[in-house]
Amino acid sequence: MHERNDILTAAAAALRDARSVAVLTGAGVSAESGLSTFRDAQTGHWAKYDPMQLATPEAFRRDPELVTRWYDMRRQAALAANPNDGHRALAEMQRTLAARDGRFTLITQNVDGLHARAGSTDVIELHGSLRHWRCFDCGRAGADLPSPLTEFPTPCDCGGYMRPGVVWFGESLPTGAIDRAAEAAASCDVFLTVGTSAVVYPAAGLIHVAHEAGARTIEINRDATDVSELVTWRLAGPSGDLLPHLMQLAFPTD
Ligand code: OAD
């Protein structure tokens, strides 16, 4: 316990002194909002499907109904969820850094939109978003789609089908997103990675970019990951507790 408090204090001091902070989040930051993480077991009907087998263009071509239903289920779950204290602490971190003329960049692998709903702005959504659907064939944006969907798959006027605006395995990241993220990682003083298993590249590579550029690195995660040995400070536990705690230590409000 003593050691954990020392780590928290040291990490908070680094945050307080930082002029530029970059944060990478993953599914763990939304776990306390009730959204299951990617590698945790899915529940109910979906337990028999492997998410890694559903998140590909090949899966959509093979079974567009199944993939459409899965993503619409995830979209409805995200819309029904609320941001938690971890999301709110990161939005507060952004406002605090801005008030001190510091730089703050929030990079997320999440497609649930909860960071923006918690008040974060300019979020780099590396893996796209569940909110913005488009045609798999012609690319037409699906702003007019009902929520929840009523047709599985949902046809487009061109004869193709609508797909979620997320990045699937084997696809490129949104134009500019990884460049902006890499620039922020390479130029920050403190890099914070939260609730990501750090196994999917290029997102996970950002931690290495920051480390190699000399940033101090903090990991907040319930479990140990591939980067736990690399980071300057590892904080083990739920992000909904640790992020507000870290913020309060770094920038006390009372
Ligand atoms: P994962 O599901 O791989 O990892 C979630 C991480 O969060 C794990 O390391 C958990 O230990 C941790 N965790 C769970 N609950 C937590 C909590 N309350 N507080 C802190 N940590 C917690 O999710 P990601 O790393 O986001 O990509 O996955 C990365 C990418 O892999 C996803 O964006 C998705 C997936 O394939 C694409 O769809 C392209």
Model pLDDT for residues 153-193, shown as the tens digit of each residue:
999 999 999 999 999 999 999 889 999 999 999 999 999 99
CA of 199 to the centre of ligand 1 (A): 9
* Residues contacting residue 195 through CB under 8 Å, at least 6 positions apart: 25, 26, 27, 28, 29, 30, 31, 37, 86, 220, 221, 222, 239
Ligand 1 site residues (CB inside 6 A) read 26-28, 31-32, 37-39, 55, 109, 127, 167, 195-197, 200, 221-223, 225, 238-239
Whether the full predicted model's pTM is greater than 0.85, yes or no, is yes
User: Closest residue (by CA) to atom 14 of ligand 1?
Assistant: 28
CA of 193 to the centre of ligand 1 (A): 11
pLDDT of residue 2: 60
Three-state SS at 135: strand
Rounded mean pLDDT of the chain? 94
CA of 216 to the centre of ligand 1 (A): 22
Counting atoms of ligand 1 from 1, which one is nearest the CA of 27?
26
Which among 127, 132, 208, 211 is annotated as catalytic?
127
Amino acid identity for residue 79 in this structure? L
Phi then psi dihedrals of residue 4, to 5 deg:
-65, -40
Burial of 103 (0-12, 13-18, 19+ CB in 10 A): middle
CA of 4 to the centre of ligand 1 (A): 23
Active site residue 127: yes
Three-state SS at 17: helix
Is the pLDDT confidence value at 1 over 60? no
Counting atoms of ligand 1 from 1, which one is nearest the CA of 109?
33
CB 242 within 8 A of CB 84: no
